[in-house]
Amino acid sequence: MKKILVINGPNINMLGIRETSIYGGGTYQDLCDYIKKEAQELQVEVELKQSNYEGEIVTFIQDAYKKVDGIVINPAAYTHYSIAILDALKAVSIPTIEVHLSDIHSREEFRHHSVTAAACVEQISGLGFEGYALALKKIAE
Cβ proximity to ligand DQA, 5 vs 98, nearer residue: 98
CB of 110 to ligand DQA, least distance (A): 8
The catalytically annotated residue of 23, 28, 78, 132 is 23
23 is catalytic: yes
CB of 1 to ligand DQA, least distance (A): 27
Cβ proximity to ligand DQA, 7 vs 39, nearer residue: 7
Long-range Cβ contacts of 16-25 (<8 Å, 24+ apart): 22/101, 22/102, 22/107, 23/101, 23/102, 23/128, 24/101, 24/128, 24/129
Cβ proximity to ligand DQA, 109 vs 141, nearer residue: 109
CB of 76 to ligand DQA, least distance (A): 3
State the residues that interact with ligand DQA by CB under 6 A: 11, 74, 76-77, 79, 100-102, 104, 111
- Running DSSP on this structure, what letter comes out for residue 98? E
- Please enumerate in sequence order all residues whose Cβ is within 8 A of that of 69, keeping only pairs 6 or more positions apart, or say none: 2, 3, 4, 94, 95, 139
Q: Are 35 and 78 in contact (CB under 8 A)?
A: no
Helix H, strand E, coil C: the string for 100-132 is ECCCHHHCCHHHCCCCHHHHCCEEEECCCCHHH
Cβ proximity to ligand DQA, 34 vs 69, nearer residue: 34
112 is catalytic: no
CB of 29 to ligand DQA, least distance (A): 16
Residues marked active site are found at: 23, 100
